[in-house]
Structure 1
C-alpha cells in the first residue's frame, strides 16, 4: 500500500505539466515534496479507517467523502494561505514550525503506545458503543477525523513547503495545490478501498466459483487483522517521521553532532549488508529517528500529564 501511494505521488510531475509556467521546476518540486511527506501520508491512511468502525456499511463511503472534503478545505482554505504567508514574510519560521509538528507527532505516537499499554481508551469506546443516535455518532466521527486530518495535513504541507524554497510564491502556491489534491485523493482513495475490503470479501464468498469464494473468505479473515496492523504502522510512522523531522531541524539550526552520529551509525551498519545497503541504511535511520521520537515524545507526555492532572490525583501523589 505505501509503495502504491508513493507511486501516485510521483505522478504529480505529470499533473503539474498541465498548468505550470515553469514546468520542470514546479513539477519536480511537487513530486519531491510529496514523496518527502510520504511518512505522514502513511500515518494519515492508517489513522482514518478507525473513524468508520461501528457505523452502518452503507454510510462508510459517504462518511469518507465528507472527511476527504474536509481535508481538501483544511489544506486549501487554511493551510495554503498560512504557508504562502510564511514563504513571503517569515521563511525563517519554517524549520521551527516543522520541528513543533515533528514533536507533536512524536508526542501523539508515544501517547498512543502508553494508552494501549494502560488500556486508557476502554471507557471512551464503551461510550461510543452506547450511543443510539447513528446521525450523532456519524457527526462526531466526521468531526474527529477532520480535526485529526488538520494536524496531519499541516505537517504534510509544512514538509512540502520546506522542499519548495527555490520556487517563486506563485510556483509554490501551484505546487502546494498539486500536492494537496494528489495526497488527499491518494489517501482517501486507499482508505475507501480498505474499509470496503470486508464487503468485497463477503460478496466474493457468496459466489459459485471456488476460487472467488476462497479469496472472499481470505479477505473476511484478513481485513480485521489488516486494520489492527494499520494502527501499528501509523504509530510507527509517526515516531520515525517525527523523530526524523526533529533530527533534520536540529541540523538546520546548527547542532550537527546528533544528526551526524545517526547518519554515520546507519552508514556503518549498512556496509555489512552488501546489495541490501540502501534498505538497511534506511531502516537503521528510521529506527534511530523513532528512538529520538519516543524520547522526545515521552518527555512531552510526562509534562502534559503532569499539567493536566486532576486535583484529586495531585493530592494522592
Structure 2
C-alpha cells in the first residue's frame, strides 16, 4: 500500500510539473503574441483583399486555404528555421528579416502604383476563376510568409525559456493561436455582407433589418478602406523591419532620428495623447521610409522582371 501511495505522489508531482510547464508555455505565448501585435494587425488587414471579386461560396474556402498555408509557413518552415538560426547563426536573423522587409516595401509600393493607375488589381477578378483563385492564394501565402517570419522572430526574441523544446512549444502555440485569430477575423470580415443580407431579409424587427441593410451598404467602402490599410501596413512593417535591422547591424542613426522626430511630435500635443502621437509618428515615418525604398525597388526590379519575362 505504501508503494502505491508513493507512486501516486510521484504521479501527482509529475502532473504539477506538467501543469506548470503548460501554464508557462501559454503565458510566454501570450506575451510573445502581444509583442507581435503590430504584425498581426497588418496580416489581418492585408488578407481580405485576396478574396475580393470571387463568388460568395468561394470566399471561406479561399480563406481556409490561405490559413492552412500560413500554418505551414509558421510550423513547417519558420519554426525550425528560427530555432536553428537562434542556436547556430543568430547574426543571420537581421539580414534575412531585412530582405523580407524590402519585399514588403516593394509589394506595397507596387500595389499603390497599380491602384493609382488603374484601380485596385484585387478589386475585380476576371478570367478563369480556378486559375485566378490559385494565383491569389499563392500570392496571399507568399505575403503571409514575410509577415509570419516577422511574427515568429518577434516571438522568439521574447521567449525566456532556455531549452530548445520549450522555445519550440511556445512558438508553436503562438503560430496556431495567431493564425486562428487572424484568419478567424478575416472570415468574419469577408462574410459580413452575407450576414447583413440575411439580417435585412430575415430580421424579426425593423431595427435588425435596418442594421442588416446598413452592413450591406457599408461593406464595399469598408473593404476599400481595408485594402488601403493593408497596403499602408506593408509599407509600415517593411520600413520598420529595415530600421530595426539596421539597428541590429550597428547602424542606429536612422532609428534615432525617427525616434527624435516622434518625441518632438509627442511634445507638441497634450500629455494625454502624447504616447499615441509618438507611436503614430514613428509608424508614419517608417511607412514613408518603406514607400521610398519600395518605389526605388520597383524602379530597379521592374525592368529586370520585364527582361526575364521577355526571354522566357
Provide the TM-score with structure 2 as the length reference.
Answer: 0.83
Q: Deviation at 1:183? A: 0.9
Counterpart secondary structure, 2:188: helix
Indicate yes or no: 2:227 matched with 1:227: no
Counterpart secondary structure, 1:309: helix
- Answer whether contact 2:74 2:149 (CA < 8 A) is retained: yes
- Answer whether contact 1:102 1:246 (CA < 8 A) is retained: yes
CA distance in 1, matches of 2:18, 2:225: 38
Unaligned 5+ segments in structure 1 are 1-16
* Pairs within 5 Å for 1:1-317: 21=21, 23-24=23-24, 26-119=25-118, 128-131=125-128, 134-164=129-159, 167-206=162-201, 207-273=203-269, 274-310=271-307
Counterpart secondary structure, 2:295: helix
Q: Deviation at 1:268? A: 1.9
Residue equivalent to 1:13: none
CA distance in 2, matches of 1:223, 1:42: 19
- Over 3 Å counting, the alpha-carbon distance change for 1:202 and 1:100 in structure 2 is same
- Over 3 Å counting, the alpha-carbon distance change for 1:125 and 1:224 in structure 2 is closer
CA distance in 2, matches of 1:125, 1:225: 12
Q: Deviation at 1:307? A: 2.0
Number of residue equivalences: 292
- Answer whether contact 2:102 2:294 (CA < 8 A) is retained: yes
Instruction: Output the aligned Cα RMSD.
Output: 2.7
- Answer whether contact 1:95 1:162 (CA < 8 A) is retained: no
- Over 3 Å counting, the alpha-carbon distance change for 1:129 and 1:18 in structure 2 is farther
CA distance in 1, matches of 2:238, 2:302: 20
CA distance in 2, matches of 1:34, 1:96: 23
- Over 3 Å counting, the alpha-carbon distance change for 1:140 and 1:29 in structure 2 is same
Q: Deviation at 1:303? A: 1.1
- Answer whether contact 2:111 2:120 (CA < 8 A) is retained: no
The superposition leaves residues 99-149 of structure 1 with CA deviations (integer Å, 9 ceiling, x where unpaired) of 222222112111111122222876x987x4232xx5554444434433332
Unaligned 5+ segments in structure 2 are 1-16
Q: Deviation at 1:266? A: 1.0
Larger Rg: 2
- Over 3 Å counting, the alpha-carbon distance change for 1:43 and 1:139 in structure 2 is same
CA distance in 1, matches of 2:143, 2:248: 28
Q: Deviation at 1:208? A: 4.1
- Answer whether contact 1:98 1:159 (CA < 8 A) is retained: no
- Answer whether contact 1:94 1:162 (CA < 8 A) is retained: no
- Over 3 Å counting, the alpha-carbon distance change for 1:106 and 1:159 in structure 2 is farther
CA distance in 2, matches of 1:190, 1:216: 19
